[in-house]
């Protein structure tokens, strides 16, 4: 059962089996369902950063690809990796490294669009699903986050520690042959290219190669902004 299906299930409030008002059984069921919802949310959130986790990313990417095929609107992916993160851990310790990850997660959360889905991919890697986006806009989002990270050192061990990050960005258009796994591999290759070229940069296909048509219907916009 998917997370959405479980959420729908949890919305249902049963009638009292005894047919009385203020039923203790209904109250206990409600508390149980609220606890189930809390536990379910924990399965989709990274404990360290508060972003969505890898599991949520994989499920959401499949949903957004299906939405893209249905609406004809492209879906984008932005992957970033903190540069020389091992050096931060080795120099200052893992607690400071964790501060760096939380700091990056905050900048990512405030730097992307409201409809985007920021996730921790693993280690010092983060990934963002960008629904209904053209390549030019996806690159603009990545550049904004890159500049924010570069310009926003964090405090660790009573000193300011600077960070930079490398990015891979592309979009998957409706009708593309790539499945979710192939799409992620494409983004990963672009990220690797950014590292090869010297880090602290955004790598993407040439602008103009991909369609920039990102018009979204009213109904689709409501779904994208839900929650």
**CATH code for position 215:** 3.30.70.270
Q: Are residues 73 and 10 in the same domain?
A: no
Same domain as 197, residue 121: yes
Could you tell me if 81 and 192 are in contact, meaning their C-beta atoms sit under 8 angstroms apart? no
Q: Is residue 19 part of a domain?
A: yes
Q: Could you list the residue range(s) of the whole structural domain that residue 135 is in?
A: 54-225
Residue 178 CB neighbour total at 10 angstroms = 14
**Is-contact 54 121, C-beta < 8 A?**
yes
How many domains does the chain divide into?
A: 2
pLDDT, residue 41, reads 60
Residues 7 and 61 in one domain: no
Q: Is 124 a catalytic residue?
A: yes
Residue 152 has what pLDDT?
Answer: 97
Read off the pLDDT of residues 1-18 as tens digits, 9 standing for 90 and up.
555 554 554 454 455 555
Decide if 89 is inside a domain.
Answer: yes
Quote the CA–CA distance of 85 and 212 in Å, as a whole number.
Answer: 34
From first to last of its 227 residues, what are the pLDDT tens digits of the chain? 555 554 554 454 455 555 555 566 666 666 666 655 654 566 889 999 999 999 999 999 999 999 999 999 999 999 999 999 999 999 999 999 999 999 999 999 999 999 999 999 999 999 999 999 999 999 999 999 999 999 999 998 889 999 999 999 999 999 999 999 999 999 999 999 999 999 999 999 999 766 555 444 444 444 444 43
Considering the candidates 5, 62, 95, 124, report the single residue annotated as catalytic: 124
Question: Which ranges in 44-179 belong to alpha helices (H)?
Answer: 54-71, 85-92, 94-111, 135-151
Q: Identify the pLDDT of residue 170.
A: 98
23 and 66 inside one domain: no
- The reported pTM is 0.78
Backbone angles phi, psi at 165, to 5 degrees: -145, 150
Residue 137 domain-assigned (yes or no): yes
Q: How far is CA 17 from CA 36, 86, 149, in A?
A: 21, 58, 56
Mark 65-87 as b/e (b = at least 16 C-beta within 10 Å). Answer: bebbeebebbbbbbbbbbbebee
Closest listed residue to residue 129, CA positions, set 119, 121, 139: 119
89 and 130 part of one domain = yes
Integer Cα distance of 149 and 14 in angstroms: 49
Based on the domain organization, do 64 and 150 belong to the same domain?
yes
216 in the same domain as 113: yes
24 and 61 fall within a common domain: no
Q: What is the pLDDT of residue 157?
A: 81
Both 96 and 28 in a single domain?
no
pLDDT for residue 222: 46
Cα(195)–Cα(166) distance, integer angstroms: 6
Q: Are residues 23 and 100 in the same domain?
A: no
Write the CA distances from 133 to 45, 54, 201, integer angstroms: 24, 22, 20
| 49: in domain | no
98 and 38 housed in the same domain: no
Task: Determine the pLDDT at residue 58.
Answer: 97
Contact 136, 212 (CB under 8 A): yes
- CA-based torsion, 73, 121, 136, 115: positive or negative: positive
Kindly state whether residues 16 and 98 are assigned to the same domain.
no
Token digits for 91? 């120099």
pLDDT score recorded for residue 80? 99
Give the chain's radius of gyration (CA, Å).
21
């Amino acid at each position: 059962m998917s997370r959405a299906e479980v959420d729908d299930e949890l919305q249902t409030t049963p009638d009292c089996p005894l047919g009385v008002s203020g039923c203790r059984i209904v109250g206990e069921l409600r508390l149980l369902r609220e606890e189930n919802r809390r536990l379910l949310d924990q399965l989709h959130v990274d404990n360290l950063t508060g972003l969505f986790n890898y599991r949520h990313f994989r499920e959401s990417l499949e949903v957004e690809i299906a939405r893209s095929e249905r609406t004809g609107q492209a879906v984008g992916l932005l992957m970033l990796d903190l540069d020389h993160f091992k050096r931060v851990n080795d120099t200052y310790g893992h607690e400071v490294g964790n501060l760096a990850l939380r700091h990056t997660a905050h900048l990512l959360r405030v730097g992307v669009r409201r409809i985007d889905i920021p996730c921790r991919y693993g280690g010092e890697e983060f990934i963002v699903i960008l629904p209904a986006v053209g390549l030019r806009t996806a690159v603009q989002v990545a550049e904004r986050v890159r500049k924010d990270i570069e310009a926003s050192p964090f405090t660790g061990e009573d000193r300011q520690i600077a960070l930079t990050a490398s990015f891979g960005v592309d979009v998957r258009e409706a009708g593309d042959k790539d499945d979710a796994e192939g799409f992620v591999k494409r983004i990963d290759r672009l990220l690797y290219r950014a590292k090869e070229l010297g880090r602290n940069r955004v790598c993407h296909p040439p602008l103009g190669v991909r369609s920039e048509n990102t018009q979204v219907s009213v109904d689709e916009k409501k779904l994208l902004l839900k929650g």
